[in-house]
A and B are shown apart, each in its own frame.
Chain A
């Protein structure tokens, strides 16, 4: 600003800041009208003030921006239909896996000798049952073959035959009828008999 003194420049800033009033302000505005150089200087100062205001606004928003980014750190974006279907499918698959896993875990942790016995027990079957002729069988064998376990026990009590085979079948029949003491006693007798015999039979089964 060639034609403005330091004092004039300071006065221009006071005018810019709204610090002139009354006659002083009116006189200065007259000077402004008559002096394009002074007007130009005022214009530059006004632009400079706008630049500061813009910077101030930018700084204010920047400060809040940081806070808001923390608050909105986990934005939830709308998801597409395809992604939604995939998400539900994954959830369903996870539920099935969880159910199956739970069932397997329950089965494993609730395993007991009684359960294994219940699931693995099969009635003893005579080796000659497949032929079906029953020739040479004792009455106990025949009753056993017909799964008439009560009849087997009855015949035993009546003293019908007491060979190794009959004793063993009677013990099995006692097991079937939950007469464990009798079954145990007969199995023990069989083992004792085997111990004395040079040709043991039903040894493994009795054990």
Chain B
């Protein structure tokens, strides 16, 4: 059986910030923390599927916070993720209108971390709604926009990755897609605050 080394916190944070070795960093988070975090969900009225969904959401939010410089390293990644996981799951239970089967006692230090993360995770449903709107774009628009704004590919590289003839055609298409998405997002006043948070963290 392959023994997988758990990367130190500093290496993970650095990788997530710069995007260098991003996929390895994400895998390291899964290998290091999925078991213990999913145990919490599964021992508090959650299913295995719930545990997986919550962990995935926590990882996305954590990386987003790190990239915006909001993770200050005052606690370990493990403590921070644990707190985010707990908070996200309790919110999910509330949303489902369920009471927790039993109350978990927490150390005071962890409660302080939780207060920090609860602020940062407050608009998770709105973020999910925003992601759904992007997902509702056509496949071409999604591809061009994510290649340009997320993967940071140049126009030339996008031409190579798509069937478009030249950079100008891609540039025009990207402009139209961006404007289309801008309109879709700003037609929803409920998302206004979350859009601000997405931008500024």
Q: Which residues of chain A have a CB within 8 Å of any CB of chain B?
A: 9-10, 13, 17, 43-62, 64-65, 67-69, 71-72, 75-78
Q: Is the CB of A51 within 8 A of B35?
A: no
Can you list 27 A-B contacts (CB < 8 A)? A9-B179, A10-B175, A17-B148, A44-B185, A47-B185, A47-B196, A47-B198, A48-B178, A48-B182, A49-B149, A49-B178, A50-B195, A50-B199, A52-B150, A54-B64, A54-B127, A55-B135, A56-B150, A57-B150, A60-B150, A64-B23, A64-B26, A64-B27, A65-B52, A65-B56, A68-B31, A77-B35
Q: Is the CB of B30 within 8 A of A54?
A: no
Task: Given A57-B63, A65-B56, A68-B34, check contact A52 B145 (CB 8 Å).
Answer: yes
Chain B residue numbers with a CB within 8 Å of A43 are 199
Chain A residue numbers with a CB within 8 Å of B60 are 54, 57-58, 61
Compute how far the CA of A78 lies from the CA of B199 in the bound complex, rounded to whole angstroms.
40
Q: Is the CB of A59 within 8 A of B146?
A: yes
Chain A residue numbers with a CB within 8 Å of B52 are 65, 69
Q: Mark B1-44, 1 if CB is under 8 A from A, else 0.
A: 00000000000000000000011001100110011001100100
Compute how far the CA of A46 lies from the CA of B181 in the bound complex, rounded to whole angstroms.
12
Task: Given A45-B178, A54-B198, A64-B23, check contact A75 B30 (CB 8 Å).
Answer: no
Q: Which residues of chain B have a CB within 8 Å of any CB of chain A?
A: 22-23, 26-27, 30-31, 34-35, 38-39, 42, 52, 56, 59-60, 63-64, 127, 130-131, 133-135, 142, 145-146, 148-151, 175, 178-179, 181-182, 185-186, 195-196, 198-199
Q: Is the CB of B185 within 8 A of A48?
A: yes
Query: Top 8 A-B pairs ranked by shortest CB distance?
Result: A56-B150, A55-B134, A68-B30, A47-B195, A50-B198, A56-B146, A48-B182, A52-B149
Q: Is the CB of B150 within 8 A of A51?
A: no
Task: Given A51-B181, A54-B64, A55-B131, check contact A13 B175 (CB 8 Å).
Answer: yes
Other-chain contact of B38, A17, A65, A75 (Cβ < 8 Å) = A75
Q: Is the CB of B146 within 8 A of A61?
A: no
Compute how far the CA of A54 lies from the CA of B145 in the bound complex, rounded to whole angstroms.
12
Compute how far the CA of A65 lies from the CA of B178 in the bound complex, rounded to whole angstroms.
28
Q: Is the CB of B27 within 8 A of A53?
A: no
Task: Given A54-B64, A60-B23, check contact A48 B150 (CB 8 Å).
Answer: no
Other-chain contact of B178, A13, A50, A77 (Cβ < 8 Å) = A13
Task: Given A56-B151, A65-B56, check contact A72 B131 (CB 8 Å).
Answer: no
Chain A residue numbers with a CB within 8 Å of B22 are 60
Q: Is the CB of B39 within 8 A of A44?
A: no
Compute how far the CA of A77 lies from the CA of B59 in the bound complex, rounded to whole angstroms.
20
Q: Is the CB of A52 within 8 A of B31?
A: no
Other-chain contact of B199, A47, A56, A71, A77 (Cβ < 8 Å) = A47
Chain B residue numbers with a CB within 8 Å of A61 are 26, 56, 59-60, 63
Other-chain contact of A62, B56, B146, B179 (Cβ < 8 Å) = B56
Chain B residue numbers with a CB within 8 Å of A49 are 149, 178
Compute how far the CA of A97 lies from the CA of B111 in the bound complex, rounded to whole angstroms.
51
The minimal Cβ–Cβ distance linking A119 to chain B, given in whole angstroms, is 52
Compute how far the CA of A51 lies from the CA of B148 in the bound complex, rounded to whole angstroms.
13
Compute how far the CA of A75 lies from the CA of B39 in the bound complex, rounded to whole angstroms.
9
Residue of B nearest to A48 (CB): B182
Q: Is the CB of A77 within 8 A of B149?
A: no
Other-chain contact of A78, B39, B64, B130 (Cβ < 8 Å) = B39
